Amino acid sequence: MNDTFLKACRGEKVDYTPVWIMRQAGRYMKEYQEVRSRVDFLTLCKTPELAAKVTLQPVDILGVDAAILFSDILIAVEAMGMHLEFSDKKGPILGEPARTKAAVDKLVIPDTEDSMPFVLETIKILRRELADKVPLIGFSGAPFTLATYIIEGGSSRNFSHTKRMMYQNPGLFNALLEKITATVIGYLSAQIRAGAQVVQIFDSWAGILAPYDYEKVIFPHVKTAIKALKKLDVPVIYFANDCPGLLEIVKKSGADVIGIDWRVDMAHAVKRLGKKVVIQGNLDPCVLFGTKEYIEERVQEILGKAHTAHGHIFNLGHGILPETPVESAIAMVEAVHKYGRN
C-alpha cells in the first residue's frame, strides 16, 4: 500500500508530498454523475456499495494518495433527530431548526452502529477494496459547523440565528455544542473502529467568528473532540475554513494536521502555525480553471513555501467545484508528485 499520506500525517519523512482533494468524489467527474443520475444524493450516501464506488473513482482516475469516505457532514445531524433533505437549488434543508431549549433537549446523541450503519459498512467495503492502494480518511463536521446547520436550518448568509443564540443564550448554546461534540466523538470513533485510518474534522464555518468568540466558546469543544479521538491512535486532521484570523489558536488544537483554506499565504501559515503541526492545503479551487502550465506554477509556489513546514499534505483550500475540468485536477496531482518534497 502507498502509505505516503499516513506517514505525512504523522510528521514522518516522506519521498514526495502526498495529495488528495476535498470533495474529490463529486459532480466534476462524469463517472460520479453516472452513478448519481440513478439515485438521489442521500440515497447515494446511504447505499454502501454505491458510496464505496464513488469513493474509489478519484483514487483510480486522479491518482491521489488518499481516499475519503463519500458521505455528508449532515448525516450525523439527521441521526441526532433532525429531518434532512437536499434541494438541488437551495442545498441542505433541515426541518424545524433548533433554537430553543426544548428543541435542543430533543436532539439525541446517536449510536452510530444503530443509526448510521451504512457509513460503517461503506468503510468496511472500502478497506477491502483499498487494501493495496491508499489509506482511507473518515470524517465529520466540527461541533460549531454542525451547530450552525442545526440552528439556521441550512446554509446562511450572516449566521445571525447562530450568533444570536451564542450571544443571548450562551448556556443553551454551550449545551448544544456539548451534545454535538459527544456525537462527533462517537461517530468518528465508530468510523475508526470500522477501519478509517485517519479522520478529518471539517470546520467549514469556523471563519465566520471573531477570534475572541472562536477561542472562548468554540475551541474548547474542538479540543475535547480531538483529545478523545487521539486515544484511538489515528492521525486527526482539523480543517478550519476561512482560517487566517485563527491560526495562532488552531495550532493548539491537538490535531496532527491543520488544514488551511486558500485565503492565507502558505509562507505565513508555516510561520504562524509553527513547527509542531503538519499543514494541509491550500490552492484556491478556482486555480483549476486555469491552464495546465498555470496550475503547475501555482502548485510549485505552494510547495516551495511549505517546504520548511514540519510536514505538508497538498490539497485545495476548499472542496473542488462542480464545474472543474477533471484534467485540471489530474494536472494538479501530477504537478504535486513531480515537484513535491523528497
Residues in touch with its own copies (CB under 8 A): 158-160, 163-164, 166-168, 207-213, 242, 244-245, 248, 262-265, 268, 284-287, 289-291, 294, 298, 301, 317, 321, 323
Q: Would you call 275 exposed, middle or buried from its count of C-beta atoms within 10 A (0-12, 13-18, 19+)? A: exposed
| Residue 265: CB minimum distance to its own copies, A | 4
Establish whether 27 is a catalytic residue.
yes
Least Cα distance to 54 among 13, 323, 41 occurs for: 41
The verdict on whether 23 is a catalytic residue reads yes
User: Closest distance between its own copies and the C-beta of residue 99, in Å?
Assistant: 13
Residue 115 or residue 300: which is nearer to its own copies going by CB? 300
In three-state secondary structure terms, 200 is strand
Shortest Å distance, C-beta 211 to its own copies: 4
**Annotated active-site residue in 32, 149, 187, 214:** 149
Measured distance CA(323)–CA(193) in Å, rounded: 35
d(CA 34, CA 45): 15
Question: With respect to its own copies, which residue has the nearer C-beta, 245 or 274?
Answer: 245
The 3-class SS string of 226-274 reads HHHHHCCCCCEEEEECCCCCCHHHHCCCCCCEEEECCCCCHHHHHHHHC
| Residue 72 known to be catalytic | yes
User: How far apart are CB 233 and its own copies at their closest, in Å?
Assistant: 34
Select 3 or 72, whichever has its Cβ closest to its own copies. 72
Dihedral angle, C-alpha 46, 20, 144, 92, nearest 10 °:
-40
**Residue 19 or 116: which CB sits closer to its own copies?**
19
Known catalytic residues are 23, 27, 36, 72, 149
